[in-house]
Amino acid sequence: MNTILSLVKKDFLLFWKDKTAVVLTFAVPMLLIVIFGIIFMSGDNSGPSGIRLLVVDEVQSEESAELVGFLQREDTFNVLTERNLADGETAPLDRDYAGQLLRTDPGSYRYVLILPENLMDADFGLNFELLYNPQNPVENNIVQGILQKVLFSNAFPLLMNSESYGLTDEMRDSFDDELSEVIARHFGGDPEEIRAQFDADGFWGLGGSSGEGEEGGSGESGSSDALGELFNIEKTQVYGEGKNPASQSVGGWAVMFLLFSLSGAASSLFEEREAGLFLRILSGPATRAQILWSKFFFCGLLGLIQMLVLFTFGHLLYGIITSPAQLLPLLLISIATAAAATAFGMLLASLAQTQAQANGLGTLLILTMSAFGGAMFPLFMMPEFIRTYISPFSLVYWAMDGILAVLWRDAGVLQILPQIGVLCAVAAAILAIALWRFRKGDLFR
């Protein structure tokens, strides 16, 4: 038993000697706790917030302004009603400009609600138009469910109070009296107290909470089922018609595990050093630079093969590739992603002193980039400041954006040049730092 305890003590001494590995052992789970806390326990835990919703008010009436106000008070949305002009002034959004934003910048704008000129239906009702890009099905269902809740909870009293339909105070009072009787008969209570509640809070002061159940409903059938005959929402899907939403999941997991695979392959440099392989290679005609470049090309090709295999598997399973025209852009974005991921792995190997440090640091950074870049969770679940100021600094963000552009929006080579350019620039910059670190380090000693 003493021998076993001595060996255990030896292992602990070796473990604690590597201070960086010790820190990373505890830092990685702590980071995951923080990330999940940000996503699921931020604020009052009321769900996603700050989803951009472009609202075009073509009516510019008192009723339409009130509807816009209801939407602006909903925390889920960041309602945008104006655009900036060249002279520094602002102007109300119009449908052409909002539709153009939806098509040219789908990463930032995916929903446009239009209050058309025939908003107030002649037969007592409201008409709306919705342009949407259901790139993420969870986000799409939440957005359309919240839209239904807001409209269903607030638009009916707006109709009742509108003078456009010739409703008199006597007609509205009669409606409230009859409704109070119906509620008391079916749910219990005193009709006079219910009627007094109407006078104090309005009709939807009592019934508004019933709209909460619509929040998780599907946007595809909700407008006809939930809103009934009073509300007509004409929907136009801008991108993704006939596409499988699994393209986001396939792309996200492919990028994340690409980083894990290539960081592990690059950290194998330590195993080759410990085995004395470098010294034997250097005794021949090979140079340090050639060894490093050979490792870069090997890992890059391995990563490219891995991504292509995963996309092929995803297509066989979910049919994510819908056109031969997608193949060349998908190949190019895969090459750029593999190059950036390989450079990242070599940077880890150049910064770490041991393989344990490289593995721990790699796990920490990969999980962080995957979470904030949209591979682990849809970006809309993140707080807005993370989506705006942190996510774009992750190579996962640009890889995901390029992959989705090809698989979901049928983007061609020209359309994904910005993503390819960023990934190639990241690969070049990181690789330059890694090579400099290798020259200064003791990898070949």
> Is 240's pLDDT higher than 90?
no
341 or 199, greater pLDDT:
341
Give pLDDT, residue 208.
Answer: 38
Percent share of the chain, pLDDT over 90:
31
Give pLDDT, residue 57.
Answer: 93
Of 341, 263, 252, the closest CA to residue 300 belongs to 341
* pLDDT tens string 26-50: 777 787 777 767 666 554 545 677 8
Give pLDDT, residue 42.
Answer: 52
Give how far the C-alpha of residue 343 lies from the chain's centroid of Cα atoms, to the nearest Å. Answer: 25
* pLDDT tens string 346-402: 888 888 877 777 887 888 889 889 888 988 878 888 877 888 888 999 999 999 999
Rounded to an integer, what distance in angstroms lies between the CA atom of residue 242 and that of residue 247? 12
Give pLDDT, residue 290.
Answer: 83
> Is 218's pLDDT higher than 90?
no
Give pLDDT, residue 221.
Answer: 39
Percent share of the chain, pLDDT over 70:
83
Give pLDDT, residue 39.
Answer: 61
Residue 168's pLDDT band (cuts 50, 70, 90): low
Give how far the C-alpha of residue 374 lies from the chain's centroid of Cα atoms, to the nearest Å. Answer: 5
Residue found under tokens 């990373």: 24
Give pLDDT, residue 96.
Answer: 94
Global pTM reads: 0.74
Give pLDDT, residue 262.
Answer: 85
> Is 217's pLDDT higher than 50?
no
> Is 54's pLDDT higher than 60?
yes
Give pLDDT, residue 340.
Answer: 95
* pLDDT tens string 398-430: 999 999 999 999 999 999 999 999 999 999 999
Give pLDDT, residue 411.
Answer: 93
Across 13-22, 187-196, 214-223, 295-304, least confident range: 214-223
> Is 184's pLDDT higher than 60?
yes
> Is 101's pLDDT higher than 90?
yes
Q: Are 125 and 159 in contact (CB under 8 A)?
A: yes
Residue found under tokens 């890009």: 133
